[in-house]
Structure formats: structure tokens, C-alpha cells
Structure 1
């Protein structure tokens, strides 16, 4: 497993909110759904995206953008256009006065807008789950990520465009997987740019020693790792691995291991009905007591409180 695979290894898209938005100017939609991430691809016409803070960005055909939640943003035909609709949590759609718009603007299967033959068409895929593993990478993204068609050209956009309006059996699963693949492709392109400000742990994946140590931890979190055993697997001394890991990743190997284990545990607690004991053993702890102690120390709440939706007073995490 590598850093990008880790993004979607836990809560991958499951019943993601997907649609094709077809619009004719003037139009403007305020997005306030609190979703952790939304991917948008323009297939026809032009669209402006204005984040809550920052300058509006123009999307042309072939361009792709990712809006990182939960901050709101506006999508419109022109900067500063007055919103005519609001998308709330769960994909609900209303006027700014609260009147429902879902049926009035429905144009077919997963197609929505103000005109069936509108001059602007945007493919939208929204991840509605909040996951701690994905949070590690999402925290490294800007509020609004934009790749123009000149630097981004991927056949998956065409696949999504063809599949999004189909209503075949199992279609939602097909779309979820296409969205996952498209997201990973976008992020891979984003982080490979010459001027990319990728997080330290992402850049470290390319190091022959530290990259191997990171993959060993991510692929086998339940193994009883020590700095010495990691160093042996990587073919270097304990001191050399500790120094190199800390320099490139920004934290010691065991701190990274703890953060990774707890991130996986957090996902398992929310996304499965496994007992705390079973989750603990799956991610490398001796039992529920050991996991609870680590969870409380790092996150400030117990595993059970996390499972039932307990909120952190201030987010704490040991992020690779």
C-alpha cells in the first residue's frame, strides 16, 4: 500500500453522491453540504468555483477540480453571481428561502439542472463520509485544487461521463469505483507537479529506505514492529533508519506507526460492527485496554466514544 492507496483504503466511496449538472446562464449554486471532498469535471461550457476564502477559479472543458470540505463554496456561470439554489448536507437542494428544488430541476437519471440542453455540463462526485485515513491526505490538500486540461487528460473522465446517467443493476457500485480511480488519478497528477507542495510523508515514499519502511508499516500494521525490526527489513542500521525516517517524515517511526494504527482503528470502529477487542488486534494492539489507552492519549476520547460519534474538543492526530 502507498500513500494514495491509503487515502481510500478505509472508507472508500460507498453510495457517493454523483450527478451531471446541466445549466444555462444565468445560474449559481451555493454548496454547503459539509462533505469532506467533492470532485468536479467540466465536460462542456465554463464554470466558476469560488471558495469561502480565496479567488474564484475558472473551469473549462477537460478541467478538473477538488473542493475540500467542510467549508462552503459557490459554483456559477460568472464570479459573484447571486446563488439561486443551495445544496445542503446529504445532497438536499433548496432555494435560498428553503423551498425544495430537487424535483423541479431533475432532468433524468443522475442529471440535474435548469435546462435539458444547457450550454454548461459538469460531472460531480461527492464523498459524504468522513474517514480518518483519508483525512491524513485531505489535510495536505488546499481548499480548492484545480488541474487544467493542459496538464490533466485522463480517459476516466470519459468513462464517468458515459456511466453517470446509466441505471443498470449495480450501477451505484460501478460509479463508486470509477470515482475512486478518478480521484486517485487526479491526486497523483497533483502531487507529481514540479511545484507541488506534497506533505513530507508523501515525498518520503520515494526514498529507497524510508519508503520501504512506510510500506511495511502500512501493509502490516498488526506486526510487532520495532525500529530495529524495521531497520533489518530495510537493510540498514537502527540508528540510520531512525535518523533518516525522522528527517524525511518529520516524526519517529514508532510515532508514525501509532498514528497509522489509530487511523485504521478509527475507520474500523465507525465502518464495522467488530468489537473493540477485535479491532485492537487487527491493527496491532494486544487488546482493547491497550487500544483504549492509546486512543485516549492521542485523540482524547475512548474508542467507544469515537464509535458513537463523540467529538474531539480539538482534533489530535499523529499524521504521516
Structure 2
């Protein structure tokens, strides 16, 4: 399992909010839903995305815009258009404080308004992940606030956009799963393009997957975090000396191998703790701790709360607020996104 696969294999969309919006000019939507990650593309017409504190970016038909929460932003036909409609937490749509979800419904997963004489309104397709996955948080913390992949860069993703546009209006058995998986594929495509860009600000532990020794070492740790790894054992697996691997791993990833493993184990544990069927002892065994007490001690030391407290918060908050108060630095797997790199990145078209 490569590093990106390890990070994205867990955070699959589950009941993501996917919607087609049909809007007549002038229009503007204020997005304050606090979704951890959203994707938007224009099917017809153009739109400006205005992240709070960032520069406006024009999105043309087929462009894919990836927006990292929880910060608010505005989507509009023109940067000067004032938003009258607000999308709040839970995807609640309101105008002047009054819900317009029913009055603006236009069909299956379709919403908006058209005005007489507007023969070609703007059509936007959007999808939002409603809950944040603990392993994915390590990736989210390093994403720019807004990442745009122009249309035409990847024909597969362009095809997926058209397929998602077709599927969003259907009401068939299992449709939600189809939409979730299409959204996942588009998100992975944008992220791969970002990581492949020569000037990307991606963290070292993501870029290190290309190294012929550190990459395999990362995959081994991700595939089997419960194994009683030592630097010597890991070095033997990848054909380096103990000192050689430790030096190379630290230089590329930003932390020593065993430090990385300890934080990866806690990230995996944090996700597993969301499953109420798993006891804390069972979670501990899956990630390489001898018993529940050992896991609890490490979890409390690094994350500032016990596994029981994390589980309770995750169950009540259902997402981004659960377990945010922890360590910083490269190892801080639950650090709240803080825009360490540029707030806006537009990938090259070719």
C-alpha cells in the first residue's frame, strides 16, 4: 500500500451530500457548512470561488475545485454579487433566516431557481464529505484551502464528471453508494495531480513514497502497524543498514521511523474507536499495543484525551470536532488544518 493509498483508503464517502444546483444570474451562495472536504465543478456557466481570506478563483466548466474545511467561502457568478442564500451545517439552506430547501427543490438531488428569460442558467455539481476521517486528517492538515484542477488535464476524470452529472439525478437502489464512490475517485484524482505537481507544498511523508527505500518502508508500516517493528527490522526489509534507513527516513519524512509509526498507530486507533462494536482492548491489539491500558496511556499523552473520551466525542459530534486538541509538528495526526502552505493552488493545465 503506497502512502497516498494508506491515507485515502479509509476516508471513503459515506452518504456524502451530492447536489446539482441550477442558478440564474445574478447568484451567490455563502457556504458555512463546515464540511471537512468538498468538491465542486461547473457543468454549465462559470463561477467564482471566494475563500475567506483568500484570492477569488474563476472556475470554468469541467474544472474541479477541492475545498478544505472548515473555513467558509462564497461561490458566485461574479465576485461582486452579494450572497442571499446561506448553506449552513447539515446542508441547511436558508434565505433571510428562512429555510428554502423545499421551495427551491427542482427534482432528485437538484436544487436552485430559474428566472423567466434566463435560457441558460449556471449549473453546478457539488459533493461534500460530512464527516472527517481520522487518518485523512493527517492529509487534510496539509491541503491548501482551495485546490483547482483545470478541465482537460485527465480524460478519465473528465469522464467521471460527466458520469457523476448523469448519476446525481437518478433515484435507483444503491444510488447513494454509486455517488459516494464517484466522488471518491474525483477527489483522489485531484490529490494525485497536486502531489505530482513539481512545485507542490505537500509534506515530506507524502512525497517520500517515491523514494526507493523510504517508500517501501512506509508501505510496510501502513500495511501492518501491529507488527513489533524496530528500525533494524524495517531496515532489513528494505535492504538498508539501520543507521542508513533512520537517516534517510528522517530526512525525507521529517521524523524518525518509530516516531512516525507511533503516530500512525494512534491515527488508525482513533478511526477504529469510531466502531462501537470494537472494545478498546481489541483496538489496542490491532495497532500494536499490548493492552487497553498501554493504548490509553499513549493516546492521552499525544492527543490530550482518553480513548473513551475520543469515542464519546466522535459519537456525539460525528466529525471534525472530535479529538482536535493535540500535538503539532509533522507527527500531529489530529492537528486542525492551519493552512501551512498557500491558501489557493491552481494546477497547471498541461
TM-score (structure 1 length as normaliser): 0.95
Corresponding residue number in structure 2 for 1:111: 110
Residue 158 of structure 1 deviates from its aligned partner by 1.5
Residue 252 of structure 1 deviates from its aligned partner by 0.3
Q: 1:1-320 alignment to 2 at 5 Å?
A: 1-95=1-95, 97-115=96-114, 118-153=120-155, 154=157, 155-309=159-313, 314-316=325-327, 318-319=331-332
Asked if structure 2 preserves the Cα contact closer than 8 Å seen for 1:11 and 1:271, the reply is no
SS in structure 1 at match of 2:233: helix
CA distance in structure 2 between the aligned counterparts of 1:232 and 1:313, rounded to whole angstroms: 36
Asked if structure 1 preserves the Cα contact closer than 8 Å seen for 2:68 and 2:143, the reply is yes
Asked if structure 2 preserves the Cα contact closer than 8 Å seen for 1:39 and 1:183, the reply is yes
Asked if structure 1 preserves the Cα contact closer than 8 Å seen for 2:270 and 2:307, the reply is yes
Residue 90 of structure 1 deviates from its aligned partner by 1.1
Asked if structure 1 preserves the Cα contact closer than 8 Å seen for 2:46 and 2:77, the reply is yes
Residue 161 of structure 1 deviates from its aligned partner by 1.1
Residue 41 of structure 1 deviates from its aligned partner by 1.3
> CA distance change for structure 1 residues 142 and 72 in 2, over 3 Å: closer, same or farther?
same
CA distance in structure 1 between the aligned counterparts of 2:146 and 2:270, rounded to whole angstroms: 26
CA distance in structure 2 between the aligned counterparts of 1:271 and 1:62, rounded to whole angstroms: 37
Structure 1 regions of 5+ residues with no counterpart?
none
TM-score (structure 2 length as normaliser): 0.88
What's the Cα RMSD here?
A: 1.6
SS in structure 2 at match of 1:18: strand
CA distance in structure 2 between the aligned counterparts of 1:208 and 1:272, rounded to whole angstroms: 39
Deviations 1:217-241 (A, max 9, x none): 0111111111111001011111100
Count of matched residue pairs = 319
Asked if structure 1 preserves the Cα contact closer than 8 Å seen for 2:3 and 2:215, the reply is no
Deviations 1:146-189 (A, max 9, x none): 12225354221111111111111010011111111111011101
SS in structure 1 at match of 2:246: helix
